[in-house]
């Protein structure tokens, strides 16, 4: 397991966002956006569990050694990226199912949410909302031990309340 090795990296991101393909970025950018807006350091990389398994393992090992606090993993189809990362570390892994060409992301969702007992991943909604929520969930985890971040999260929630209260529905003609 990566956490037991000595490989370290200086300047490791607080949150590492991994995706199986650069084509996943359109979706994964929404989680990155949340982290950026909250001032949480992140790094986004395309690394695949099946195309680049060794590079993936090395990267996870370096992040774990360097102080990364959690991983967000997006993948589509037979989406085993999040599960493989979770097998390499005990840090939390937040999984984002990417919409797929033939099954609309249901394959990705089931691949992530149906992890066998013992190696959990926290699975979010398919697509943009899941990606954004994974970012927000990472913020919430970090906010447990960071009062400033907790205040920012409270303010974010308060803005949502105000937006709902101010919402106007169209009149019928
Ligand atoms: C997965 O296969 C990736 O996560 C991506 O969603 C899907 C298709 O990859 P590409 O063929 O678009 O690179 O590994």
pLDDT in tens, 73-104: 999 999 999 999 999 999 999 999 999 999 99
Q: What is the pTM of this model?
A: 0.94
Q: In what order do the strands lie in the sheet with 122-123?
A: 42-46, 15-19, 70-75, 93-97, 122-123
pLDDT band, very low/low/confident/very high, at 118 (cuts 50, 70, 90): very high
Rounded to an integer, what distance in angstroms lies between the CA atom of residue 78 and that of residue 72?
A: 17
Q: Which of 24, 48, 98, 128 to mutate to test the pocket of ligand 1 (most atoms within 8 A of CB)?
A: 24
Residue nearest to atom 9 of ligand 1 (CA): 21
Radius of gyration of the chain from its Cα atoms, rounded to whole angstroms:
17
Instruction: Answer yes or no: is pLDDT of 19 > 80.
Output: yes
Enumerate residues 6+ apart whose C-beta is below 8 A from 30: 128, 129, 131, 132, 135
Q: Residue 62 carries which DSSP code?
A: H
**What is the pLDDT at residue 7?**
67
pLDDT band, very low/low/confident/very high, at 2 (cuts 50, 70, 90): low
Instruction: Answer yes or no: is pLDDT of 5 > 50.
Output: no
How far apart, in Å, are the Cα atoms of 91 and each of 64, 69, 73, 173?
Answer: 8, 7, 12, 55
Beta pairing, strands 42-46 & 93-97: unpaired
Residue 142 contacts residue 40 (beta carbons within 8 Å): yes
22 CA distance to ligand 1 centroid (A)? 8
């Amino acid at each position: 397991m990566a956490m037991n090795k000595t490989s370290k990296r200086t300047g490791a991101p607080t949150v590492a966002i991994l995706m199986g393909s650069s084509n996943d970025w359109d979706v994964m950018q929404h989680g990155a956006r949340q982290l950026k807006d909250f001032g949480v350091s992140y790094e986004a990389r395309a690394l695949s569990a099946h195309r680049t398994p060794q590079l993936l393992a090395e990267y996870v090992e370096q992040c774990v050694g360097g102080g990364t606090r959690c991983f967000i993993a997006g993948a589509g189809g037979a989406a085993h990226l999040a599960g493989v990362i979770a097998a390499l570390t005990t840090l939390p892994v937040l999984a984002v199912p990417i919409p797929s060409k033939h099954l609309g992301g249901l394959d990705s969702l089931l691949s992530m949410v149906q992890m066998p007992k013992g190696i959990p991943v926290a699975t979010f909604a398919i697509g943009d909302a899941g990606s954004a929520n994974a970012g927000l969930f990472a913020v919430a985890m970090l906010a447990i031990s960071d009062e400033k971040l907790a205040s920012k999260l409270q303010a974010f929630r308060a803005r949502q309340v105000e937006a709902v209260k101010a919402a106007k529905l169209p009149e019928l003609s």
